A and B are shown apart, each in its own frame.
Chain A
């Protein structure tokens, strides 16, 4: 079994699904000969031909509109927005068409499409290349929103996303594209698109996160352990639909919750989790819910971006506050 990185897992999943399902096509800017600017589609055009790995003209709205049209006509397109910050021209097609195709036609037409985008900051990229805007999509009915945080989960969740009969936003944390390798069997086994993953068991505090912040959150759990605090770490993975039960079960055990995400705080997806905790788990909580997030600013250019992104120290401090509160 090969040791692969998260981005190699994306490629492996795309190749697997293209091999077994001729209706799967990949389209986007530079996805063909160049294999994608991050190499997510490396080698796919050679394997599957230019008819199925399609370099489009440089227009994100066109990519999204073509994707909707192809999906409604029986293909399973996987569209790439080159960076999350370039996804905005796609939003009309995603919100007004992909997400509502099934409901507005009472199921006559559907949109089994995946919109992939390298997501988040922390790679010293130019302006507009570091956005974490997942919450814009979690508020759109009809979409699933997925953010894998390991090679194995990237592989299994992307397979599931492509096989899903409805549109899926698949945001890839590019900061950890090549953070580490793990063994990922190319066995075509998909993961469920509606569960959170408990990455570390603990009993004192629940740390809930997704995407690249899984890295800092696990490091924070290590740091807390060194101080005798047992932290449970949950990777939400699929933000929508949210597996709140897994989070709730953990909070029943710990009574404390820290939500970590790099997107801005106000109306970030952490707010939804906090609201669910307030509404359904208030008697299980022994301390106020903490949020460690990006600030309500635009992510700064790269000299300051690490000051913006949640750090291990901020997560540890928040966890300690929940312990001090009770």
Chain B
């Protein structure tokens, strides 16, 4: 018997849970202290936003909301590694990536607050909106990448899926086509260990989620998703090779969902408390803060000041959200097609007449 194929999956980590460097072949981003501080500040901003959004839901001012608690490093690394004309195809909790790209917190709130205008956001106009049908966004990312290939544009599509998503045909379809057509597609599996109540171990018999990309002919890497430096280095590598025509990549970002799945979920029903406690020891903020402080690039005072700034900035966003008047009823009809069909026009007239009567 001979060997038909072999593979290895590398694991990338620079900072351990305490912020100590675990290797010395550091990527450029590890030395770019100014940028790291900016990214850390965005992570803090996201965390303040997230807590506020959950609080809004708990007080009846927001619909169901999907928290991103614990995913900050992965998300901010993804957003910051992309160029503006690249295309992002997110799932529904990648606020850190989207804020970097210009989406406003008020728009995130508007979406979860029951208003389509949230998805007409201020980020790049070509970015996809939040995608609830699990993993379908991966194929839209692949379609964007195929469009770049057809038009010979040096752009990259980046999509995010979860550990649960990696069980779906759409995920396999996307990585398969990216391999078959050598598309500039970066697929980040943010493995937060839980797909609502189903643990990672129940999703697949595969040793890693990253290795699923091997079968598709893609380069694959498993990364400590709580390590901002590792995540950013992995993304920089993936985006660069995709942009230069070397094809797609699968990055498994190993992290932990510190929150419930959404505000409609209660993870205490299925998740051992000890596991969550452990996960808090490895969460992403602490280690990058420690690293920056060890370089004298960040202080507790700056942290306190910035958190206060964030709270003020988020308050502005929340107020803008709360003050946004609902769309009038015709908005339901006006975007179904480019132009109203006769039947839709008649139905719209019915509703408007109904509104008038009260």
- Do B169 and A74 touch (CB < 8 A)? no
Assuming A92-B136, A104-B119, is B335 touching A65 (CB within 8 A)? no
Say yes or no: is B149 at the interface (Cβ < 8 Å to chain A). yes
A72 and B140 contacting across the interface, CB-CB below 8 Å: yes
A70 and B342: CB pair below 8 A? no
* Cβ-defined contact, A57 with B147, below 8 A: no
Near A by CB (< 8 A), chain B positions 147-182 give 147-151, 157, 169-170, 173-174, 176-177, 180
On whether the beta carbons of B341 and A142 are closer than 8 Å, the reply is: no
> In the complex, are the beta carbons of B180 and A57 less than 8 A apart?
yes
Q: Which of B119, B140, B151, B331 contacts A68, CB < 8 Å?
A: B140
Tell me whether A166 and B338 are in contact in the complex, defined as CB-CB below 8 angstroms, given that A51-B150, A69-B143, A105-B116 are known contacts.
yes
Residue B350 interfacial (CB < 8 Å): no
**Is A261 part of the contact surface with B, judged by Cβ < 8 Å?**
no
Q: Which residues of chain A are within 8 angstroms of B125 by Cβ–Cβ distance?
A: 108-109
Is B237 among interface residues, defined by CB-CB distance under 8 A?
Answer: no
Would you list which residues of chain A between 86 and 145 have a CB under 8 Å from chain B? 89, 92-93, 96-97, 102-110, 141-142, 144
A242 is an interface residue with CB less than 8 A from chain B: yes
Docked complex Cα distance between A110 and B176 (Å): 25
Judging by beta carbons under 8 Å apart, are B119 and A73 in contact? no
Interface string of A141-183 (1 = CB under 8 A from B): 1101000000000000000000011100000000000000000
Residues of A with C-beta under 8 A to B331: 106
Residue of B nearest to A113 (CB): B143
| Known contacts A73-B87, A108-B119, A66 near B142 by CB under 8 Å | yes
- The verdict on B271 contacting chain A, using a C-beta distance below 8 Å, is no
Separation of A32 and B144 alpha carbons in the complex (Å)? 20
B139 sits at the interface (CB 8 A): yes
Tell me the complex Cα distance, A54–B183, Å.
13
- By beta carbon, the residue of chain B nearest A68 is B140
B336–A102 touching, CB < 8 Å? yes
The distance in angstroms between the C-alpha atoms of A51 and B152, with both chains bound, is: 10
Instruction: Given A61-B169, A65-B173, check contact A102 B142 (CB 8 Å).
Output: no
Which residues of the other chain, A, contact B87 by a CB distance below 8 angstroms? 73
Q: How many residues of B contact A (CB 8 A)?
A: 44
A315 lies within 8 A of chain B by Cβ? no
B170 x A61 contact (CB < 8 A): yes
A70-B337 contact given A62-B139, A65-B136, A104-B119, CB 8 Å threshold: no
- Residue in B closest to A105 when the chains form the complex, CB atoms: B119
Name A8-36 residues within 8 Å CB distance of B. Answer: 25
Question: Quick check: is B272 within 8 A (CB to CB) of the other chain?
Answer: no
B238 contacts A by Cβ under 8 Å: no
Q: Across the interface, do B119 and A106 meet the contact criterion of CB distance under 8 Å?
A: yes
Given contacts A62-B139, A96-B136, contact A142 B144 (CB under 8 A): no
Chain A residues whose CB sits within 8 angstroms of the CB of B145 once the complex forms:
69
- The closest CB in chain A to the CB of B179 belongs to A57
A59 at interface, CB cutoff 8 A: yes
Do A242 and B177 touch (CB < 8 A)?
A: no
Q: How large is the interface on A (under 10, 10 to 19, 20 to 34, 35 or more residues)?
A: 35 or more
Per-residue 0/1 for B78-92: is the Cβ within 8 Å of any A Cβ (1 yes, 0 no)? 000000000101000
Q: Is there a chain B Cβ closer than 8 Å to A215's Cβ?
A: no
The answer to whether B147 touches A65 (Cβ under 8 A) is no
With contacts A57-B180, A102-B338, A107-B120 taken as known, whether A65 is within 8 angstroms of B140 at the C-beta atoms is yes
Q: Is the CB of A97 within 8 A of B136?
A: yes
Shortest beta-carbon distance, B289 to chain A, in Å?
36
User: Does chain B have a CB within 8 A of A229?
Assistant: no
B141 interface residue (CB < 8 Å to A): yes
B117 within 8 A of A: yes
Contacts of B128 in A (CB 8 A): 72, 109
Complex Cα–Cα for A64 and B143 (A): 9
| B301-358 at interface with A (beta carbon < 8 Å) | 331, 335-338, 341-344
* Chain B 116-140 residues near chain A, CB threshold 8 A: 116-117, 119-121, 125-126, 128-129, 133, 136, 138-140
What is the CB-to-nearest-CB distance from B334 to chain A, in angstroms, rounded to a whole number?
Answer: 8
Does B343 contact A68, Cβ atoms closer than 8 Å? Answer: no
Within the assembled complex, what's the spacing in Å between the Cα atoms of A244 and B343?
A: 9
Q: Is the CB of B143 within 8 A of A57?
A: no
Q: Is the CB of A102 within 8 A of B146?
A: no
Rounded to whole Å, the gap between the CB of A129 and the closest CB of chain B is 22
Most chain A beta-carbon neighbours within 10 Å: one of B143, B157, B344: B143
- Contact: A92 with B146, CB < 8 Å? no
The answer on a CB contact under 8 Å between A69 and B140 is yes
Report chain B residues within 8 Å CB of A108: 119-121, 125, 129
A59 pairs with B116, CB closer than 8 A: no
Given contacts A105-B116, A105-B120, A108-B119, contact A61 B143 (CB under 8 A): no
For residue A56, CB closer than 8 A to chain B, the reply is: yes
Residue of A nearest to B134 (CB): A92
| Interface assignment of A52: CB less than 8 Å from any CB of chain B | yes
11 contacts between A and B (CB under 8 A): A57-B180, A65-B136, A65-B140, A66-B177, A70-B146, A96-B133, A103-B116, A107-B335, A141-B336, A165-B337, A241-B341
Other than A69-B141, A106-B117, give 10 A-B pairs with Cβ distance below 8 A. Answer: A69-B147, A72-B128, A93-B139, A105-B119, A108-B119, A141-B336, A166-B338, A241-B343, A241-B344, A244-B343
9 closest A-B pairs by beta carbon, nearest first, are A69-B143, A65-B139, A62-B173, A241-B341, A69-B140, A103-B335, A106-B120, A66-B143, A165-B338
